[in-house]
Structure 1
Amino acid sequence: MDEALRVGVVGAGPWAHRVHAPGLHAHPGTRLTAVWARRSDAAKSLAGEHGAEVADSFEELLDSVDAVAFAVPPSVQAELAPRAARAGKHLVLEKPLAADRAGAEEIVEAVTGSGVAALMMLTRRFAPEVQDWLAGLRELGGVQGGTGRWLAGGLLAGDYAASAWRQEDDGALIDAGPHAIDLLDAALGAIEEVHFAHRGDDGLWQLVFGHEGGATSTLTLSLRMPVQPSLVDFAVYGEHGCVPLAGRRTAAHECYARLLDDLLSMASGERADHPCDVHRGLHLQRVLADVLNAR
C-alpha cells in the first residue's frame, strides 16, 4: 500500500495499552489515528501516549479511519463490528468473536457482504514457532491425538482481576479457551464433537474433543491457578511418537506486528484468505457453544 493504513482503536483497557496502540504506532504500514472508548478519560490517556486523536463517538472514529482494531468485551464487539464492516472498514477482532453464535454470525455476514479484510487476534497463531510446528505436523502424518494445558492465574490478580466478563463463571473458557481450542483444532483437524466437558467449582475445565478424521484431544484450562510462570503447553502424538510445541514463545507485540503484515496484504488485495479470518472466529464460537451445552 502506498500510504499507511489509518487505524482506530476501540477500547482503552490493558490489552489496548499493551499491544494494540503501541503495535499500530510502531508498524510502518499503519498509523494509529483515533481512539474511542466509553470511558473518555481512558481514551484520552491512551491516545495521548501515541499522538492519536480522541473520537467523541464511534461514528466519529469510523469517519476518520480505514480500519478498526477492537479491544472490548465480546458483547460490545458483536454490537460494533458489523457497523464498522458495513462502513467499509477493515477489522482486527478480539476473541471470542461475540458473546454467542448469533452475534458471531452477524459479524461474518457483515464482513463477507462488505468485502473488507478481517483478522482474529489469535495471538499465538502468528508466532513463527507455532506456524513451524503446524507445518511439520502436516508433513509428518499419522497423527492420532493431542493434549493441551493452559494454566495461569490471570483472574487472581493483575490487569484482568477487575474485568467483569472474565470474572464470570465461564470467563476462563471464553477468554483463554479460543486460543487453546484453536491450537488443538489447527493441529488435529476441525473439532466436530465435544465428548466431555466439566468445570469444577475452582474454575478448572477438563475437556475432551473429537476431531475430523478420528483424532481425539484433551484440554485442561484455568485462569485461577496460582502457578508462576503460567503453564501453557501442547503436544500431538501418533504413529511417529509425540511432537510437542517447543521453542521460544514469541512476544505478543511481535505476533501483532505479523498480524498487521497479513492484514495489510489482505486490505491491498495481495492475499484473499487467511486461516485466522472471521470464519475461523465463527468456528471457534460454535465449539465454545458446544462446550457450554455439554457441560
Structure 2
Amino acid sequence: MASTSPVASTSPVATPRIGLLGTGPWAQSVHAPALAAHPGVDLAGIWGRSQAAAAGLAHTHGTRPYATPDELFAACDAIAIALPPSVQAPLAVRAAEAGCHLLLDKPVATTVAEARAVADAADRAGTATVVFFTLRFGQREGEWIAEQAAAGGWFTAHADWLSSVFAADSESPYLDSPWRREKGALWDIGPHVLSVLLPLLGDAESVTATRGPADTVLLTLRHRGGAASSAAVSLTAPAPAASYDVTVHGAAGTTSLPNGQEGPRPAYHRAVDALLTAARTGRPHPCDARFGARVTEILAAAEKSLK
C-alpha cells in the first residue's frame, strides 16, 4: 500500500510517486505535462476511462497506463485527478483510503454529501489534500489575494467571470464537456470566484442566486462579519465579452485582481509544491478538501436558491 507520508522523513527518500486519473483536454494540456516536468515528483502512471487514451497519454509522457484505479493507487504515494466531479469524488475517497495524498480539481463534487465524504476520508487516512483553484496558485493572483486577505477591512466586492465556452462560435476544447453542459457556469466558474471572495471577505453566511441569459447566474453573498459580495458567472457569453475581474472596496480603498499571463501549468506546478509541503509538514493547505467541500456547500445553496 502507498505510504501516507511519502516525504515526511528527514533522511534521503525516493521521489514521491504520483499517479494521474483522467485523460481529457485538461489532463492533456495541464496535468500530465506539468506532472511529468515537475522535478519533485515521479509521474508513476495514468488511468483513464478510455484505456486507449490512457495508453497514448502515458506514452507521450514517458510513463505507463494502469488497467484500474486501485492498481494505480497501490503504486503511488499521491494521486492527481482530472475527471468530472461526479467521477472524481468516489475515486478520491478510494485513493485516500489507499493511503494516497490527493491533488484534486474543482469542484471537488457537485453534491454536499460527496464533497464531505472526500474530506472525511482524507481526514481519517491522514492524507494531505490540495484543490487546484487556478487563481489561488497563480503567481500574481495568489500574491494579490494574500495581500488583500492580510489587509482586511473589505466592505464589499464584485466579481465577473464571463466565458464563451458554449458561445455559438466557440472552438473551446471543453465544448463537448457533458458535466459542464449539465451543471453550467455556477459549478464550473463559481468555484473560482468563491476561492477568491472567501479568503478576502470571510465565509458566506447566506447566498442567493438569480438566472440570467442562458447559463449565466448572478450571485449575492453575505459574509461573516457583515461584508457583502456579488458575482456574475457565465459559460455562454459572446466572445467579445469574455473576461474576468474581481474588485474589492474597503478601508484600504479599491483594488482589483491582476490578470496573470503565465497560464495554468506554472500554477499547477505550485499546487504540486503545496501538496508536497502539506504531506511533509502535516499542516493543512488553505485550499484543502475541507475548503473544497465548503465551496460545494455554498454552490449547492445557490443552486437551491435558483430552484
Asked if Structure 1 and Structure 2 have the same fold, meaning a TM-score greater than 0.5 normalized by the shorter chain, the answer is yes
Does residue 214 of structure 2 align to residue 202 of structure 1? yes
Within the candidate set 129, 134, 139, 1:123 is matched to 134
Please name the residue that 1:232 is paired with. 244
Equivalent residues, number: 292
Give 1:88-237 correspondences, 5 Å limit.
88-156=99-167, 157=170, 158-168=172-182, 170-194=183-207, 196-228=208-240, 230-237=242-249
- The amino acid across from 1:263 in the alignment is L
Does residue 49 of structure 2 align to residue 38 of structure 1? yes
Please name the residue that 2:4 is paired with. none
- The amino acid across from 2:232 in the alignment is T
Please name the residue that 2:269 is paired with. 257
Within the candidate set 34, 40, 54, 2:65 is matched to 54
Query: C-alpha displacement at 1:46, in angstroms?
Result: 0.8
TM-score normalised to the size of structure 1? 0.95
Structure 1: gaps of 5 or more residues: none
Structure 2: gaps of 5 or more residues: 1-6, 8-12
Please name the residue that 1:19 is paired with. 30
Query: C-alpha displacement at 1:160, in angstroms?
Result: 0.9
- The amino acid across from 2:189 in the alignment is A
Query: C-alpha displacement at 1:23, in angstroms?
Result: 0.7
- The amino acid across from 2:220 in the alignment is V
- The amino acid across from 2:126 in the alignment is G
Question: 3-state SS of the aligned residue for 1:9?
Answer: strand
Please name the residue that 1:64 is paired with. 75
Q: Distance in 2 between matches of 1:10 and 1:49?
A: 15
Q: Distance in 2 between matches of 1:67 and 1:141?
A: 35
CA contact (8 A) 2:129 2:284 kept: no
Question: 3-state SS of the aligned residue for 2:205?
Answer: strand
Q: Distance in 2 between matches of 1:89 and 1:140?
A: 36
Q: Distance in 2 between matches of 1:248 and 1:271?
A: 30
- 1:68 to 1:143, Cα distance in 2 relative to 1, 3 A: same
Deviation digits for residues 207-255 of structure 1, max 9, x if unmatched? 1110111010110110111224830110100233211112534421111
Q: Distance in 2 between matches of 1:244 and 1:192?
A: 24
Please name the residue that 1:246 is paired with. 258
- With 5-14 and 201-210 compared, the bigger mean Cα shift is at 201-210
Q: Distance in 2 between matches of 1:149 and 1:48?
A: 40
- The amino acid across from 1:160 in the alignment is Y
Does residue 98 of structure 2 align to residue 80 of structure 1? no
Q: Distance in 2 between matches of 1:9 and 1:139?
A: 35
- The amino acid across from 1:187 in the alignment is L
Query: C-alpha displacement at 1:271, in angstroms?
Result: 4.9
Q: Distance in 2 between matches of 1:128 and 1:25?
A: 21
**CA RMSD of the aligned region, Å?**
1.5
Question: 3-state SS of the aligned residue for 2:181?
Answer: coil
Q: Distance in 2 between matches of 1:237 and 1:250?
A: 27
- 1:94 to 1:141, Cα distance in 2 relative to 1, 3 A: closer
Query: C-alpha displacement at 1:78, in angstroms?
Result: 1.6
CA contact (8 A) 1:206 1:219 kept: yes
- Identity among equivalent positions (%) equals 38
- The amino acid across from 2:84 in the alignment is P
